[in-house]
Amino acid sequence: MASSGSASWVILARLLFITLAATANGDELSASYYEKTCPNVQHVVRSVMASSVAAQPRMAPAVLRLFFHDCFINVYKHLYYCYVYSYLH
């Protein structure tokens, strides 16, 4: 029973450390965040949004969500989980 409790504390401590490490990296949101990694991202998003809205105006929120969540967030999550996996193993 004691080993189960201590294992829980170790897991909790690791999660806390990972959370603090992820939030303390100093990366802030900025308009120029993708200038180095994807320099034409604004052009791509703007042209796809313009053609989508021209074809069907109600599609604008869905396409914008697609770019933000499915492209940008998932790339960050993939890189973050690779870092966490390499740290824990």
Number of CB atoms found within 10 A of residue 40's CB: 10
Mean pLDDT of the 5-23 span: 67
Question: What span, in angstroms and rounded, lies between the C-alpha atoms of 78 and 69?
Answer: 12
Q: Is 70 annotated as a binding residue?
A: yes
pTM: 0.40
Residue 73 in tokens: 């967030």
pLDDT at 1 over 60: no
* pLDDT score, position 21: 61
Q: Does the active-site annotation cover 69?
A: yes
Catalytic residue among 43, 69, 78, 89: 69
